[in-house]
A and B are shown apart, each in its own frame.
Chain A
Amino acid sequence: MSGLRILVPVKRVIDYAVKPRVNRTQTAVETSSVKHSMNPFDELSIEEAVRLRERKIPVESITAISAGPPKAQDILRTAMAMGADKGIHVAVDEQDALEPLGVAKLLAKVVQGEKSNLVILGKQSIDDDAGQTGQMLAGLLGWAQATQASKVSVEGDSVTVVREVDGGVETLRAALPMVVTTDLRLNEPRYASLPNIMKAKKKPLEKKKLADYGLELGARLKTVRVTEPPPRKGGVKVDDVDGMIGKLKELGAL
């Protein structure tokens, strides 16, 4: 085995601490002049790639990739500050952002170009919450997949993944190449400190376009309308036990 060549896709999303607002035309969420950061689940996948290397597993390269507006490069810098060796930025305008299938098609091409044999993705992004890219990528490549990983161990060519499922855990073993998506309890991502961000500026960052991969990805989905969830209705106070029973019967709970 020549070593792992890990590909880690990262996404620039609205920061988790920001409350998203729907824009006035109800077509999307307001993104201009809103704080953005790396998708928390992608931080987990970078961290896992770096930890595999720190566990003395032969990791040949860790490549971070992001498709998006020029500011996605900041996110790639963060990824490189956390330990990725290089970054690839695929320029995509904000208004025609890629859909999960488009991302999966792009990643499939990148995997071929980079000769990656392990792709570690976040299980979902906190903005679209589609949770589809990893699965679609595994399907396109015809690779094994392990989603929602809470523990990843590599021995030679076989990867063992413990994943969280309803009511317990499931252990999967598969041979490389493989697609893994991360769950929240996989690890504790490190902080991208200032000195590391500075060092990351010296790491290589490739700039690509969709056309470089021979892709023409139009929108297949149409957003009909975006609205805020309805505000929570207040509860009612009941006077006594009989009142409560009456209310419960009225609601069909008894």
Chain B
Amino acid sequence: MTSTNPVLRQQVKRVYKELLYMGREYPQGYDFFKTRLHKAFISQQHLSDEEEIKKRLQRADFVRKEIEALYYLKKYRSMRHRYDAF
């Protein structure tokens, strides 16, 4: 598997690290997040087609944005619940 594009390889590692970092605040705990994230990445290990990898990278980015939105909403909702009269 060493034949893969080193640029893509680096991108995959970067998004993995970023997601791991975000996982520290995951509501169900870091361990829950970490095992699932690892499983998701390792299950795509066999990919060698560059186009296919790029598609998965986009998906990873989508997931990253989804988690950001989840954190924001969770915080906003609990703040509204605590500080707004209704």
Report which A residues bind B (CB closer than 8 A).
16-17, 40, 126, 184, 188-191, 193-195
Contacts and interface: CB of A to CB of B under 8 A. Distances in A.
Given A184-B76, A194-B17, 11 more contacts: A16-B78, A17-B27, A17-B74, A126-B79, A184-B79, A190-B68, A191-B22, A191-B68, A191-B71, A194-B18, A195-B18
Q: What 4 A-B pairs have minimum CB-CB distances, sorted nearest first?
A: A194-B21, A191-B68, A194-B18, A40-B79
A126 B79 CA distance: 9
B3 to A, nearest CB: 28
Contact of A184 (B17, B68, B83): B83
6 contacts: A184-B79, A190-B68, A191-B22, A194-B17, A194-B22, A195-B18
Contact of A189 (B17, B72, B80): B72
A69 to B, nearest CB: 21
Contacts of B49: none
Interface range, B side: 10 to 19
B75 interface: yes
Interface string B11-25: 000100110011000
B84 interface: yes
A92 to B, nearest CB: 26
Contact of B75 (A40, A190, A194): A40
B32 to A, nearest CB: 15
Contact of A191 (B14, B72, B82): B72
A191 B61 CA distance: 14
Nearest to A123: B83
B78 A17 contact: yes
A193 B21 CA distance: 8
Contacts of A194: 17-18, 21-22
Nearest to B71: A191
Contacts of B18: 193-195
B57 to A, nearest CB: 15
Contacts of A193: 18, 21-22
A200 to B, nearest CB: 14
Contacts of B84: 184
